[in-house]
Amino acid sequence: MKLVFQIVLMSLLALQARAELVIEITQGNQRAIPVAVVPFQWKGLSALPENVAQIVANDLGRSGYFNSLPKTQMLSLPNTEEEIFYRDWELLKQDYLVIGAINEDSRGGYVINFKLIDVNTRTVLMNQKLTGGASALRDIAHFMSDRIFAALTGVPGAFSTKLVYVTTNRERTQFNLSYADADGAREQNIFSSKQPIISPAWSNDGKKIAYTSFENGRSEIFIQEIASGKREKIASFKGSNSAPAFSPDGTKMAMVLSRNGNPDVYVMDLATRKLDRITTHYGIDTEPQWMPDGKNLIFTSSRIGKPQIYKVSLTNRKPKRITFEGDYNARARITPDGRKMVMVHRNGGDFHIATQNMKTGVLQILTSDTQLDESPSVAPNGSMVVYAASMGDRSILAAVSLDGEVKFRLPSKYGDVREPAWSPLMK
Amino acid sequence: MQKRALVKTLGVTFGAVLMTACASNSDMADGEELQPLNAAAQEASASAESTAADVETKGVEAQAVAGEQIDAAANEAQAALMKATVFYFDFDNTTIKADSKNALIAHSQYLAANSSARVVLEGHADERGTVEYNLALGERRALSVSRFLQANGAASSQIETVSFGEERPALMGHNDDSWSQNRRVEIKYQSR
């Protein structure tokens, strides 16, 4: 019996390990703010299940706004204000310092006290106490990162968010829709199929995922509740049903249907299931995305012969072309402030991720070291873009900051990973 | 009955055989792209002509013999053309290539002659560009083949289209060779 249990446990562990994403930072930001997150004090007898300070240091370092000082370069490891020797940190040219201690509470949980210190003014900017059980340590670490990030940049942190994505084996006979923390940890399966799964999209409350599944031999749109696993087929018309996008208020869904013979953009009222056809062109119209106002959509259209991005108001229904540079612009996503658009761009050569300023139209290509870039998705604080790319003969996830300065990769340890979608900020 | 209908759609009807097969073919589609089919039909008519010499003496019986021989040759030509079930496309393009047309006409004629035959047209794209655009592209490729089949005699009720976009590549490579094989429409018979 014991042996059987061990084997089951081992295979469970193997299953977990092989699908997990691993972060590899490939380019840092030279102008990023230097910060040192000193290992937290812990006097417990057994090792902590998570290295909280390291998670915070990694979060901040990956954000593009900060350079985290590696532990090996620290000259001292203070845990309290009294232990800080400021000259050490001035010598190391650090602007900020994070110190703290973790203690066990009476109920077996943990209490974390941490301080954020400005090295130059030698003042405490933040002094907080956080508590939680062992399973919440990672959440607490990401929450700390969010607070520190917000305090120093004025932008909300997006470290407590999730990524949803599709993993597949090389033979394309097994597809898994999964989600994980934004740093790739704690992967969880949402849905598995022997048929393709594409275009996952989050609801704005972060509780549901809409996606396209080919489980019945063709593309159909499903909505699945993450917590309960309850799924519902919401579009299964003749032809293709795909590219779902929840409206900002969550009451409607933009989608692409070819029920009338050609792919066109529709909006479905999720309560009544009533369809409203938005585009009627004979070309391809696809990849609808809501503007933050909920009154306009942007979408990809081949109406001039090559894919370009168009904007359409739901009231006047007259699409207006908004991209003019390059021979392939597609799958646009809008930053949360509505100022920039992120998209797949090609100008004769390779496919890359580019941003375009919505007001000035100025285009900036963000990626250069990955191939066949596709499926960009913007972090809910507008700091980073996650996308799918080809590396060697594998599909990986990669991320780039919106200024193009910071780059990292999230390859799967097993097979290909595609179609990422960054969650909204979780409450 | 089916063979008769087939001969009719090929334009190799009885009277036509006694004249020239080429002339009767010209009203089917773009004549210049029909070389293989013409050759097959000519073969059919050649064998028919040798029997036709006996028509005067043997009358009605000989006509029946000739008809069967034409059927056989035409069937063979059609079967050969119908071996092609995968049709390729250029990048970001849904236009049927000239070298796909003869085989597609043979499929059309088969469908026209066999009203119970059903096909699914599976449209695919290569991996370049975006997932959803490629899904739409695959669909438009399938629709383009569907229209072609219908223009050449198949009924819309016999055809279903489905797109897999870039999700089901025929070849897994990330290069021109694989991509050219992956931009395709596959004809899959559900019933013959």
pTM metric for this prediction: 0.84
Regarding whether B121 and B29 lie in a shared domain, the answer is no
Residue A370: C-alpha distances to residues A183, A276, A387, A403 (Å): 19, 38, 10, 17
CA distance B169 to chain A (A): 9
Confidence band, pLDDT 50/70/90 cuts, at residue A427: low
Radius of gyration of chain A (CA): 23
Using 50 as the pLDDT threshold, list the residues of chain B that sit under it: 1-59
What ipTM does this complex have?
A: 0.90
Inter-chain CB proximity A170 and B172 less than 8 Å:
yes
How many other CB atoms are found less than 10 A from the CB of residue A245?
A: 22
Could you report the per-residue pLDDT of A93-148, keeping only the tens digit for each? Answer: 999 999 999 999 888 889 999 999 999 999 999 999 999 988 899 999 999 999 99
Residues B107 and B146 placed together within one structural domain of the fold: yes
Q: Is the dihedral of CA A324, A328, A330, A335 positive or negative?
A: negative
Which of B27, B58, B82 is the C-terminal boundary of a domain? B82
**Hey, are the CB atoms on A351 and B135 less than 8 Å from each other?**
no
Q: Are B172 and B182 in contact (CB under 8 A)?
A: no
Give the rounded distance of the alpha carbon of A63 from its chain centre: 12
Q: Which of B62, B82, B102 is the last residue of a domain?
A: B82
B97 with B11, same domain?
no
Is the Cα dihedral B163, B167, B168, B171 positive or negative? positive
Q: Which of A309, A339, A342 shows the shortest CA–CA distance to A324?
A: A309
End-to-end Cα spacing for chain A: 43
B112 and B182 co-located in one domain? yes
Share of chain A above pLDDT 90, in %: 77
DSSP element (H, E) containing A91: helix A86-91
CATH of the domain at B92: 3.30.1330.60
Q: For residue A409, how far is the Cα from the chain centroid? A: 12
Q: Which domain holds residue B56?
A: 2-82
Does residue B98 sit in the same domain as residue B150?
yes
Which residue does chain A place closest to B137, by CA atoms? Answer: A284
pLDDT at A11 over 50: no
pLDDT, tens digit, 9 for 90 and up, residues A21-46: 766 767 767 678 999 999 999 988 88
Give the other-Cβ count within 10 Å of B31's Cβ.
14
For residues B124 and B170, membership in a common domain is answered with yes
Same domain, B22 and B113: no
A393 Cβ under 8 Å from any chain B Cβ? yes
Q: Which chain B residues are within 8 Å of A170, Cβ to Cβ?
A: 172
Token look-up 């996008």 returns A245
* Shared domain check, B168 and B131: yes
Domains present along chain A, CATH in parentheses = 21-153 (3.40.50.10070), 162-422 (2.120.10.30)
Tokens for A331? 């799958």
pLDDT for position A135: 85
Per DSSP bridges, beta strands A351-357 and A340-346 are antiparallel
Task: Check B132 against A239: CB less than 8 A apart.
Answer: no
Q: Which residues of B touch A196 (CB under 8 A)?
A: 164-165, 167-168
Looking at CA atoms only, how far is residue B142 from chain A in angstroms? 11
How close, in Å, is residue B137 to chain A by CA atoms? 7
In angstroms, the separation between the Cα of residue A112 and the nearest Cα of chain B is 44
Reduced to 3 states, what is the DSSP secondary structure of residue B76?
Answer: helix
Q: pLDDT tens across A378-426, in order?
A: 999 998 999 999 888 889 999 999 988 888 888 877 789 999 999 999 8
Please judge whether B162 and A218 are an interchain contact, meaning their C-beta atoms are less than 8 angstroms apart. Answer: yes
pLDDT at A212 over 80: yes
Asked if residue B138 and residue B116 are part of one domain, the reply reads: yes
Q: Domain count of chain B?
A: 2
Beta strands in A21-144 (DSSP E): 24-27, 33-37, 41-42, 66-68, 96-104, 110-118, 123-132
Interface contact A331-B162, CB threshold 8 A: no
In this structure, the answer to whether residues B78 and B93 fall within a common structural domain is no
Same domain, B116 and B149: yes
Supply the pLDDT for residue B61. 54
CB contact under 8 A, B143 and A284: no
Q: Do residue B73 and residue B29 come from a single domain?
A: yes
Top pLDDT among B70 and A196 is at: A196
Residue in B with minimal Cα distance to A329: B129
Closest CA to A376 of A384, A386, A367: A386
Q: Among B49, B82, B115, identify where a domain stops.
A: B82
Identify the DSSP state of B5: H
DSSP state of A84: -
Q: Do B130 and A330 touch (CB under 8 A)?
A: yes
**pLDDT given for residue B144 in this prediction:** 97
CA–CA distance, B124 with B30 (Å, rounded to integer): 26
Q: CA-CA distance, A393 to A370, in Å (whole number)?
A: 12
Burial A19-33 (b: 16+ CB within 10 A, else e): bbbebeeeebbeebe
